[in-house]
Structure 1
């Protein structure tokens, strides 16, 4: 018996990566805490010195 497939255009609630992370842990060590820290994306993308450039 097979699992019914989702129709096209519908995302599954959990990805394969989520399932593997649950089984193996964030760094391949089951039960270990996730040491990764996310930096704010907007701060990374915003240039420090804004040069508006030429208008035309």
Structure 2
């Protein structure tokens, strides 16, 4: 077996021209992870649960009905 040069897959009439690729936007941090569904939900709600900048959750009518109006004597049982 003799070493013979291989022919290129491109036709003889066309030189080996590189296919132009679209320019991709530069990433600021290539090691950064993509945002998760939790990240999107926190951004939509305004922050993580219990954050002091968020307004308190409104009391539902059922919870208002169950909440005692007078304090008990301190015993839990």
Structures share fold, TM-score greater than 0.5:
no
TM superposition score category, shorter chain reference: under 0.3
Structure with the greater relative contact order (CA < 8 A, sep ≥ 6): 1 or 2?
Answer: 1
Max Rg structure: 2
Which of the two has greater helix per residue?
A: 1
TM-score when scaled to structure 1?
Answer: 0.24
